A and B are shown apart, each in its own frame.
Chain A
Amino acid sequence: MSNPLLEVRHTKLVFPNGQLALNDVSCSVSKGEILCLIGPSGCGKSTLLRCFNRLAHPDSGELLFHGEPVPGGEKAEAALRQKVGMVFQEFAIFKHLDVLSNVTIGPVRILGMDPGQAREKGMALLREVGLAEKAHVLSANLSGGEKQRVEIARCLSMDPEVMLLDEPTAALDPRMTAEVKSVIMALAKKGMTMVITTHDMQLAREISSRIVFMQNGLIQETGTPDEIFDHPKKTVTRIFVENQLSLLFHVNSRDYDLYNMNAQIEWFCARYELGKLYFPLELLLEELLTKVLPFTGPVDIRIHEAGGAGADRNPGSSDGPVIAIEIEQSNCRQPILDGPDVDEISLMIIRGMAAQISEEQADKSRLIHLEVHG
């Protein structure tokens, strides 16, 4: 591997509340590399990202830029941040400025660029992210996706060598996510060095040259997307990846929030390009939850694409996606689908929609497996 451009070594950081955020973490990114940090919430990936530009001050450890240690002090940090740009999750674009001024304030006020020149450059950047038309709109009047693109343009206005993106799509709906994703993809094609934290496995898989999986303030596993998603070495990695690609519900009674569940199913189907599959899924779950399951205890439901991550699918093949549904009814020893009290009509609907149905006893609960074909 070539010399790392930006590197943290043996970084340790404890939050004021005593929680250990980073436990002796070392991580580096080389020129042109796109590094994705993944892991459950609170695993320390955002903190690690903020250590790369010293927005977070670790208790111990080193930060090297171009192989040189970055000294402490405000001046040196400001100089580092001019070269290591950052894009925030909650689109922190400057509220008092219009779109163009957001993109020119850095060059003019920090780099001392001539305002006219900065405006020209700003317009070029806005064209790049597709927002030249909105140059004189105040930030309050932009959509989330637009705000995030302005922030990317603002970051680019400083000509950074590395860009840090903190969950760039987490606060966006699927359509806006697509807008922002394509801008990030375009940057990747131009060879921008990036470090991205994300929950979006799709994004991580498509864009990154290397993925770092973190848990409990430690780097658990590092590898190419294929290694992490398809052949993880550690069990924790496999469980995390599988859960990320699944939809999980925990239902306590028949009076569950139907609309919330349906919205999540639709979001899941949109995210993994499962088309209209959300319709049979919703119907199936509604029948099961309202008519069939006895609710002897809480029910856990897991929906995932059979055979692993979504990107495995061959777009050319005629086979549609296959969705597996696993339902666990706790505190139950009686057969459910073949039981005596089952609602006949519901059962007919379920059998009509599911391609494959099986039921088994596990310890104290009943497990039902269903498969829906697209």
Chain B
Amino acid sequence: MKKICLLLLAVLLPLMACNRPASPPASFRDLDGQAVGVLLSLTQQQQLERHINDARYLPFEDLMSMCLALEKDQIRGFVCRRPGSEHLLQENPGFHILPGPVLLDTAAVAFRQQDKELQASFNAFLRQIRADGTLEAMQNNWFAPEGGKTPYHHRHGPGTALRVGIEVGQSFFTYVSENEEVGFEPELILRFGEYLGRPIQFVEMTGSGMVPSLRSGRVDALVSNINPSRARQKDLCFSDPYDVSELCIIVRQEAERQGFFTRLGNSLRDNILKERRYMMILEGLWTTLLITLSSVLLGSLLGILLCLFRLSPRRWKRRFAEQYCSIVEGIPILVLLLIMFYVVFAFTPLAGWIVAIITFSLHFAAGACECFYTGVENVTPDQREAGLALGFTKARMLRYIVVPQAMKTILPLLKGRCITLLENTSIVGFIAIKDLTKMVDIVRSQTYDAVIPLGILALVYFLLTRLLGLLLDKLGDLYLARYE
């Protein structure tokens, strides 16, 4: 328990300590030469350059991260869309909109070059809803302060689903409520689905993963406040703009702060209880455990096979196993995961979590092979010979003499590998899998609170690794006890 408290402190203290007061900027010119956050998916930079000199533009994956950076004074301001920003201002006392010239940004749906038909039908659909007033009603619903924010529920049609990549955490454009994607953009797409007579499947992703996903065919369209700039059009084709909205710069000034425990209480309530967000966290936990345990099992089996190859008298088998281990261990697991998802399995219908299990199994196999090999090498030849001399057949000698002795070396090594694997699974969010880390990210994007969710995340991982460690120790003891 003491350890856990210390851990929480270690996570929270640095995050709280870095609040220092700064005089807030009053106009665009005050941002000259300062750090300004922009979204990866937007291209507002050229517009801003006309009004601000030499600003350092820092690209962020999502709105949430920019809020946190502004909160911690890592940036002096950030750019976002005006519609829906009221919500953001409510949640973050002290944030306000910097007065200045009006900037405009357009948003369009991105398709692949070859999907011209889809592009054409979307444009037709857009003209239709613009003409019959649906678009305006939608804008009022989501962006007007008095709007009802009523989610739109789609009636599923038959046929193959249209897969649409969206990015949650874009204020009222796209967010998650009760574990469902809602907002202006989801409604637009759902209505488009009805227009086409096809069901819609949303694929949540982050800024950097969107264009590769579209290109490799994992999704059919992207809807995420994407600006159809000239640079982007080279690769992709875009619909007519479905939204032209005002951009604004959000800056921060010191606001009255609540006491630590009040904030902690509010934060815990918002992040965990409200909208049954614990269900999302539990769902993420399940995904993380599923990927970890499946990969440990599959990877161990593969590892045994590889280890047998390494111990084989055949030269090509030994070479294969050695090369496999050195190649797989020589590539960062994240890079391996991206290669598997965007290149190797890009044109297969395999779901992301299956690709993740395959990748982690392949990676774990290399590590497990090393563990097994070390363990078996540690059993001296005289032990095998003594087993044979006593009258064991070779297979039974391996089972009763070599394996139990090797296990003593293998188990602690393997335990370390398992824990590393569990921690490494936190990167699967990069291929749009909603694991524990990704789910907490989504919660953060809704509550605009970074500190508490991160603390909870660290705590959950810590407890998970401890539990996994204890479980493996127990299994190891049970196994070894059978032979003593």
Q: What residues of chain A have their CB less than 8 Å away from a CB belonging to chain B?
A: 53, 55, 74-75, 78-79, 81-82, 85-86, 88, 90, 92-98, 101, 105-106, 109-110, 151, 154-155, 158
Determine the chain A residues whose CB is within 8 A of the CB of B387 once the complex forms: 94
Return the chain B residue nearest A83 by Cβ: B391
CB distance from B296 to the nearest CB of A (A): 24
Q: What residues of chain B have their CB less than 8 Å away from a CB belonging to chain A?
A: 382-383, 385-394, 396, 400-401, 404-405, 408, 480, 483-484
Given A79-B391, A96-B404, decide whether A88 and B385 contact each other with a Cβ distance below 8 A.
yes
A92-B389 Cα distance, complex, nearest whole Å: 11
A-B contact count (CB 8 A): 66
Whether B405 contacts A74 by the Cβ 8 Å rule is: no
Whether B391 contacts A82 by the Cβ 8 Å rule is: yes
Whether B393 contacts A158 by the Cβ 8 Å rule is: no
A77-B392 Cα distance, complex, nearest whole Å: 9
Whether B389 contacts A95 by the Cβ 8 Å rule is: no
Given A88-B382, A94-B383, decide whether A110 and B388 contact each other with a Cβ distance below 8 A.
no
Whether A78 contacts B393 by the Cβ 8 Å rule is: yes
Whether A75 contacts B393 by the Cβ 8 Å rule is: yes
Determine the chain B residues whose CB is within 8 A of the CB of A94 once the complex forms: 383, 386-387, 401, 405
Determine the chain A residues whose CB is within 8 A of the CB of B400 once the complex forms: 105, 109
Determine the chain B residues whose CB is within 8 A of the CB of A109 once the complex forms: 392, 396, 400
Determine the chain B residues whose CB is within 8 A of the CB of A101 once the complex forms: 483-484
Determine the chain A residues whose CB is within 8 A of the CB of B390 once the complex forms: 81-82, 85, 105-106, 110, 154-155, 158
Whether B386 contacts A88 by the Cβ 8 Å rule is: yes
Whether B484 contacts A78 by the Cβ 8 Å rule is: no
Give the interface centre of A81, A93, A96, A155 by most chain B CB atoms within 10 Å: A96
Determine the chain B residues whose CB is within 8 A of the CB of A53 once the complex forms: 389
Given A95-B405, A101-B484, decide whether A85 and B389 contact each other with a Cβ distance below 8 A.
yes
A268-B483 Cα distance, complex, nearest whole Å: 43
Whether B388 contacts A55 by the Cβ 8 Å rule is: yes
Whether B394 contacts A74 by the Cβ 8 Å rule is: yes
Whether B386 contacts A98 by the Cβ 8 Å rule is: no
Determine the chain B residues whose CB is within 8 A of the CB of A78 once the complex forms: 388, 391-393
Return the chain B residue nearest A74 by Cβ: B393
A78-B396 Cα distance, complex, nearest whole Å: 11
Q: Which of A86, A88, A97 contacts B483 (CB 8 A)?
A: A97
CB distance from A79 to the nearest CB of B (A): 7
Determine the chain B residues whose CB is within 8 A of the CB of A154 once the complex forms: 390
Determine the chain A residues whose CB is within 8 A of the CB of B391 once the complex forms: 78-79, 81-82, 106, 110, 158
Determine the chain A residues whose CB is within 8 A of the CB of B393 once the complex forms: 74-75, 78
Determine the chain B residues whose CB is within 8 A of the CB of A81 once the complex forms: 388-391
Given A78-B392, A81-B389, A105-B400, decide whether A95 and B484 contact each other with a Cβ distance below 8 A.
no
Determine the chain A residues whose CB is within 8 A of the CB of B382 once the complex forms: 88, 90, 92
Q: Which of B385, B394, B396, B483 contacts A96 (CB 8 A)?
A: B483
Give the interface centre of B385, B390, B484 by most chain A CB atoms within 10 Å: B390
CB distance from A91 to the nearest CB of B (A): 9
Determine the chain A residues whose CB is within 8 A of the CB of B392 once the complex forms: 78, 109-110
Q: Report 10 cross-chain contacts, Cβ distance below 8 Å, ordered by A residue.
A: A78-B393, A82-B391, A85-B389, A93-B386, A94-B383, A94-B386, A96-B405, A109-B392, A110-B391, A110-B392
A322-B434 Cα distance, complex, nearest whole Å: 90
Return the chain B residue nearest A109 by Cβ: B400
Question: Which 9 pairs between the two chains have the least Cβ-Cβ distance?
Answer: A82-B391, A92-B386, A92-B382, A86-B389, A81-B391, A96-B405, A78-B393, A106-B390, A96-B404
A71-B481 Cα distance, complex, nearest whole Å: 38
Return the chain B residue nearest A166 by Cβ: B389
Return the chain B residue nearest A81 by Cβ: B391
Return the chain B residue nearest A111 by Cβ: B391
Given A74-B394, A78-B393, decide whether A97 and B484 contact each other with a Cβ distance below 8 A.
yes
A86-B383 Cα distance, complex, nearest whole Å: 13
Q: A74-B393, A92-B383, A154-B390 are in contact. List 8 more A-B contacts (CB 8 A).
A: A82-B390, A85-B389, A92-B385, A94-B386, A110-B390, A110-B391, A155-B390, A158-B391
Return the chain B residue nearest A154 by Cβ: B390
Give the interface centre of A82, A98, A110, A151 by most chain B CB atoms within 10 Å: A110
Return the chain A residue nearest B394 by Cβ: A74
Whether B385 contacts A55 by the Cβ 8 Å rule is: yes
Determine the chain B residues whose CB is within 8 A of the CB of A74 once the complex forms: 393-394
Determine the chain B residues whose CB is within 8 A of the CB of A82 once the complex forms: 390-391
Whether B408 contacts A96 by the Cβ 8 Å rule is: yes
Return the chain B residue nearest A91 by Cβ: B382
CB distance from A169 to the nearest CB of B (A): 17
Determine the chain A residues whose CB is within 8 A of the CB of B480 once the complex forms: 96
Return the chain A residue nearest B480 by Cβ: A96
Determine the chain B residues whose CB is within 8 A of the CB of A98 once the complex forms: 484
A90-B381 Cα distance, complex, nearest whole Å: 11
CB distance from A47 to the nearest CB of B (A): 14
A82-B393 Cα distance, complex, nearest whole Å: 11
Determine the chain A residues whose CB is within 8 A of the CB of B386 once the complex forms: 86, 88, 92-94, 151
CB distance from B120 to the nearest CB of A (A): 73
A92-B383 Cα distance, complex, nearest whole Å: 6
CB distance from B309 to the nearest CB of A (A): 22
A78-B392 Cα distance, complex, nearest whole Å: 6
A158-B390 Cα distance, complex, nearest whole Å: 8
CB distance from A87 to the nearest CB of B (A): 9
CB distance from A74 to the nearest CB of B (A): 5
Determine the chain A residues whose CB is within 8 A of the CB of B389 once the complex forms: 53, 55, 81, 85-86, 88
A79-B396 Cα distance, complex, nearest whole Å: 13
A110-B392 Cα distance, complex, nearest whole Å: 7
CB distance from A168 to the nearest CB of B (A): 14
Determine the chain B residues whose CB is within 8 A of the CB of A158 once the complex forms: 390-391
A351-B137 Cα distance, complex, nearest whole Å: 127
Determine the chain B residues whose CB is within 8 A of the CB of A93 once the complex forms: 386
Determine the chain A residues whose CB is within 8 A of the CB of B388 once the complex forms: 55, 78, 81
A105-B401 Cα distance, complex, nearest whole Å: 10
Determine the chain A residues whose CB is within 8 A of the CB of B405 once the complex forms: 94-96
A231-B42 Cα distance, complex, nearest whole Å: 105
Determine the chain B residues whose CB is within 8 A of the CB of A86 once the complex forms: 386, 389
Return the chain A residue nearest B389 by Cβ: A86
Q: Which of A79, A85, A95, A106 contacts B383 (CB 8 A)?
A: A95
Return the chain A residue nearest B386 by Cβ: A92
Return the chain A residue nearest B404 by Cβ: A96
Give the interface centre of B391, B393, B484 by most chain A CB atoms within 10 Å: B391
